[in-house]
Structure 1
Amino acid sequence: MIRPAVPADLPVLQELEMASGEPFATLGMHAVAEDDPPTLEVLGEYVAAGRAWVWAEGGRPVGYLVLDLVDGAAHIDQVSVDPALRGSRIGRRLLDHAAAWAVARGLTALTLTTFVEVPWNGPYYRTLGFTFLAPEEETPGLRALRAAEAAHGLDRWPRACMRAELADWRPLSD
């Protein structure tokens, strides 16, 4: 069900991003819920670099993950799943795929930035083996990402960087 994203998927990825943002409104995080999705150009850059994957059902993406490389780690830039499929482990399987991709390239960690208190963000990633980084543990690239997020207004809610060591990663077993 996981395959590389292709250019024809990009408008659907934008739709998924907007839909997956909607639950943030229930927490009063309307600015997050209403934030614009990545542009087709930005998503296309991930596709061209071979760092974008989708979970497809019936040929149509219902979840996606895009990955950057930040300071020698595979950085989860975004993972989004259709909210109607919440709890189906699609996001987890996409994360497992990203971890396997990173290991195959000799990378030793996954990183991400996340909302600390949103149940499907920080607390969820902790259950997968990610740990919060103290500000002094953040790499220069992660600090730059956090600064960009703060400039975008995301620091209105507690945010942090997280890291998972791939030597300790345990993929979901079916």
Structure 2
Amino acid sequence: MNIRRASPAELPLLRDIERAAGAPFHTLGMSWVADDEPPSLAELAVFQGAGRALVAHPERAGTGGDAAPVAFLLWEPVDGGTHVAQVSVRPDRARRGIGRALIDRAERDGGPVPVTLTTFAEVPWNAPYYARIGFRVLPGAGLTPGLRAIRAREAALGLDRRPRVCMRREPGGRAPAIMPA
């Protein structure tokens, strides 16, 4: 798998990946997530222009070139950490470590700082998955001002129809030893 920064030409493909990655939410009765419009090209361009849009490509056998991306990750600096704003993997490429590889790359690009994200608490490929790769749920008192603002924005968008959590992983892929109360 080749992970690198996204090019401007790839941005429309990220929207397609997001649509495909959202489809499994239909099976959980979460059509409002599955049918949500992906980030606009303008929104994606902000991340891409800042060098914070990553793509994962399978390497084409024998050509040395990249096939179309199969996953992407958007990140931003939030309160001294690296915040994963979005990570999406095509369902036919899930369970191959691509999401984790993207998160690990964002961690390297963001510096030796904690990585945070917000996600659905009870969706199997959300919080339970992130816990398996070293993230731990942050209690409300452990949220930084930036993370509180992100959660408020998510609530305003209606994402709190199902329980959501903020999670954190320490540099090097380690879960925090003790989460602040």
Please give the range of the TM-score, normalised by the shorter of the 2 chains.
over 0.9
- Counterpart in the other structure of 2:157: 152
Separation in 1 of the partners of 2:122 and 2:139? 16
Separation in 1 of the partners of 2:157 and 2:127? 19
Aligned pairs, number: 167
Gaps of 5+ in 2: 59-65, 176-181
Deviation at 1:87, TM superposition (A): 1.0
**2:69 partner SS:** strand
- Counterpart in the other structure of 1:9: 10
Considering only aligned residues, what root-mean-square deviation do their CA atoms show, in Å?
1.3
**1:76 partner SS:** strand
Stretch of structure 1 that moved more, 19-28 or 49-58: 49-58
Q: Give matches, 1:11-160, under 5 Å.
A: 11-57=12-58, 58-103=66-111, 107-160=112-165
Separation in 1 of the partners of 2:10 and 2:142? 36
Identical counterparts, % of pairs: 50
**1:69 partner SS:** strand
Greater helix fraction, Structure 1 or Structure 2: 1
AA of the residue aligned to 1:16: I
Q: Is the 8 A contact 2:122 2:128 kept in 1?
A: yes
Gaps of 5+ in 1: none
Separation in 1 of the partners of 2:142 and 2:54? 29
Q: So what's the TM-score if we normalise by structure 1?
A: 0.92
Q: Which runs of 4+ in 1 moved over 3 A?
A: 167-170
- Mark the CA change 1:165 to 1:59 in structure 2 (over 3 Å): closer, same or farther: same
Deviation at 1:101, TM superposition (A): 1.5
* Cα displacement string for residues 129-168 of structure 1 (whole angstroms, at most 9, x for unaligned residues): 1110111110111011001100111000000100001145
Which has more radius of gyration?
2
Separation in 1 of the partners of 2:14 and 2:88? 8
AA of the residue aligned to 2:41: L
Stretch of structure 1 that moved more, 38-47 or 56-65: 56-65
Deviation at 1:102, TM superposition (A): 2.3
Separation in 2 of the partners of 1:68 and 1:3? 16
Q: Is the 8 A contact 2:13 2:69 kept in 1?
A: yes
- Counterpart in the other structure of 1:161: 166
**2:4 partner SS:** strand
Q: So what's the TM-score if we normalise by structure 2?
A: 0.89
Separation in 2 of the partners of 1:167 and 1:51? 19
Separation in 2 of the partners of 1:11 and 1:83? 18
